Amino acid sequence: MLLELSEEHKEHLAFLPQVDSAGKLNVSSDTVQHGVEGLTYLLTESSKLMISELDFQDSVFVLGFSEELNKLLLQLYLDNRKEIRTILSELAPSLPSYHNLEWRLDVQLASRSLRQQIKPAVTIKLHLNQNGDHNTKVLQTDPATLLHLVQQLEQALEEMKTNHCRRVVRNIK
Amino acid sequence: MELSESVQKGFQMLADPRSFDSNAFTLLLRAAFQSLLDAQADEAVLDHPDLKHIDPVVLKHCHAAAATYILEAGKHRADKSTLSTYLEDCKFDRERIELFCTEYQNNKNSLEILLGSIGRSLPHITDVSWRLEYQIKNTDSPSYPEISFSCSMEQLQDLVGKLKDASKSLERATQL
């Protein structure tokens, strides 16, 4: 599979051959930034798609670089693609996932504006994990809504037991 | 219940049949409850033709006094005897005390609901929506405005189990 490089990408990468070995760059910072971005894009896309050596070489060929530079880029790709893939997998957007739920029954007995109350509430501490970070949300609900929540979520569990869901889970791996 | 002199003075004026005849008294009383409880009530609540003959300053003072007292009484869940005692001290005659207590009784529930709704609380859950998804590969997920999280079957069972424990506890508590 060949990597498709847009005209813009090719332009950004065109600056690479101009970098002399001493490392001193005599160009604008924008050009340098674009060059770095272009290189990053080239490497991450190649790593993401796990393109073969040959495909990588062919993809880079269209940039018209020297044999030496092409070899350098290939080596860079091969040396770093495993690590790049590890980093990419950690970046995948994900929903926070459930970790734990703590609950507490509260009854409000009075407030500044009204004395002698009996106002039940369920206070919930929801523990979630996202990308290794643990965060908690403190929420509250009333008894009627709590029963509604249980009923709704039990329906979700019931749905999992239907033939339809069982078939999908069994057959798609 | 701590009530200011201003409230007391207002009530003393309300007690006086020379300032407020029977009709005017009832109208002002109803206006006070209306201002507090009716969401659509506007300033024109005192603009009744049968109140026109009364000095607007007096009218406002008494209206404010009545409203203040009603709120204090509601806040402290005053009973009929507490109301009667205070109104007697303000020189209300029997008839006016009865009228006030009846109006108060009629509006008591709405008043308590109003007062009970004032205050701060934690974010309150109102509903839940769920989606069963069999994840085959990672794709871009859109961002949701509410709290969203994913869970496996086991985790969902754990979550539902805990919520059921909470509702069972609630049931037990209501039977005490």
More confident call, A25 vs B46:
B46
Tokens representing A32 are 């340098």
**Beta-bridge partners for B75:** none
Chains A & B: contacts with CB separation below 8 Å: 137
d(CA B105, CA B8): 21
> Which residue's structure tokens are 């949300």?
A137
Task: Name the pLDDT band for A67 (thresholds 50, 70, 90).
Answer: confident
Tokens representing A66 are 């020297």
> Which residue's structure tokens are 């490497």?
A43
Residue B77 one-letter amino acid: R
Mean pLDDT of B140-161: 74
Query: Would you state the pLDDT for residue B44?
Result: 79
Distance from CA of A89 to the nearest CA of B (A): 9
| Inter-chain residue contact A114 with B141, CB threshold 8 Å | no
Q: Give the residue from A113, A37, A101 showing the smallest Cα distance to B76.
A: A113
Task: Name the pLDDT band for B29 (thresholds 50, 70, 90).
Answer: very high
- On whether the CB atoms of residues B151 and B114 are closer than 8 A, the answer is no
Percent of chain A with pLDDT over 90: 30
Please give the full DSSP string across B136-176, using - where no structure is assigned. Answer: -S--PPPP-SS---B--HHHHHHHHHHHHHHHHHHHHHHH-
| Inter-chain residue contact A115 with B75, CB threshold 8 Å | yes
Q: Which of A139-148, B9-18, B53-62, B115-124 has the lowest average pLDDT?
A: B115-124
Q: Which of residues 143-172 of B touch A (CB under 8 A)?
A: 147-151, 153, 155-160, 162-167, 169-170
Look at the alpha carbons of A74, A76, A79, A80 in this order and tell me if their dihedral is positive or negative.
Answer: negative
Mean pLDDT of B128-137: 73
Q: Which helix (H) or strand (E) holds B31?
A: helix B22-37
Query: Would you state the pLDDT for residue B147?
Result: 79
pTM of the model: 0.58
d(CA B150, CA A143): 24
Task: Name the pLDDT band for A121 (thresholds 50, 70, 90).
Answer: very high
Mean pLDDT of B31-52: 86
Distance from CA of B163 to the nearest CA of A (A): 6
d(CA B67, CA B31): 9
| Inter-chain residue contact B122 with A140, CB threshold 8 Å | yes
More confident call, B119 vs A88:
B119
Q: Which of B128, B156, B170 lies closest to A120 in CB terms?
A: B170
Mean pLDDT of B126-132: 84
Judged by a CB distance cut-off of 8 A, whether residue B40 touches chain A is no
Query: Would you state the pLDDT for residue B138?
Result: 46
Distance from CA of A41 to the nearest CA of B (A): 18
Q: Which of A154-163, B1-10, B119-128, B145-154 has the lowest average pLDDT?
A: B145-154
d(CA A22, CA A12): 21
Instruction: Write out pLDDT tens, residues A40-65.
Output: 888 888 888 888 888 888 888 888 88
Q: Which of residues 126-155 of A touch B (CB under 8 A)?
A: 126, 128, 137-143, 145-150, 152-155
| Inter-chain residue contact A146 with B163, CB threshold 8 Å | yes
Distance from CA of B176 to the nearest CA of A (A): 14
Query: Would you state the pLDDT for residue A21?
Result: 53
Judged by a CB distance cut-off of 8 A, whether residue A164 touches chain B is no
Instruction: Write out pLDDT tens, residues A92-120.
Output: 667 788 999 999 999 999 999 999 999 99
Q: Is B108 exposed, middle or buried (0-12, 13-18, 19+ CB in 10 A)?
A: middle
| Inter-chain residue contact B170 with A156, CB threshold 8 Å | no
B136 pLDDT more than 80? no
ipTM of the complex: 0.71
Q: Which of B151, B164, B166 lies closest to A97 in CB terms?
A: B151
Q: Which of residues 70-109 of A touch B (CB under 8 A)?
A: 92-98, 100-103, 105
d(CA A20, CA A30): 18
Q: Give the residue from A65, A4, A75, A79 showing the smallest Cα distance to A35.
A: A65
Query: Would you state the pLDDT for residue A153?
Result: 92
**Beta-bridge partners for A108:** A119
Q: Which of residues 16-75 of A touch B (CB under 8 A)?
A: none
A122 pLDDT more than 90? yes
